[in-house]
């Protein structure tokens, strides 16, 4: 199992899991805030809709459905109040 942190909480994930799947498995569906502040989560699952963007290891705007979990990854979603402002990126 791979250990990652989602909004400060440690989560264990199977290798080969996408970051989007890991976030959903952790019970969060509020990935990003839309430009008018709406709650958004993944739609297309294949990297084209950009709805699943989150901050990964400090880099904002990463499409979580196209990235596999890696040991020690730090993930921030819009569900984490503090990061909401950055998640537009």
Closest CA to 25 of 46, 37, 38, 42: 42
Closest CA to 64 of 13, 1, 81: 13
Residue 30 Cβ vs another protein, minimum distance, rounded to whole Å: 6
Task: Give residues with Cβ within 8 angstroms of 60, minimum separation 6.
Answer: 53, 86, 87, 88, 89
Residue 50 Cβ vs another protein, minimum distance, rounded to whole Å: 4
| Site track 19-58 with another protein (rule: CB under 8 A), x = hit | -xxx-xx---xxx--xxx-xxxxxxxxxxxxxx-x-----
Q: What does the alpha-carbon distance between residue 52 and residue 64 come to, in Å, rounded to a whole number? A: 6
Residue 8 Cβ vs another protein, minimum distance, rounded to whole Å: 20
- Which residues bind to another protein, rule: CB under 8 A? 13-14, 16-18, 20-22, 24-25, 29-31, 34-36, 38-51, 53, 59, 61, 65-66, 68, 85, 88-89
């Amino acid at each position: 199992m791979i250990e990652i942190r989602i909004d400060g909480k440690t989560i264990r994930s199977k290798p080969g899991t996408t970051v989007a799947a890991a976030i959903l498995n952790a019970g969060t569906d509020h990935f990003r805030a839309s430009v008018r502040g709406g709650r958004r989560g993944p739609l297309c699952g294949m990297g084209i809709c950009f709805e699943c963007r989150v901050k990964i290891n400090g880099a904002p705007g990463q499409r979580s459905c196209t990235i596999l979990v890696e040991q020690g990854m730090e993930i921030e979603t819009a569900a984490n109040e503090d990061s909401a402002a950055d998640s537009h990126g």
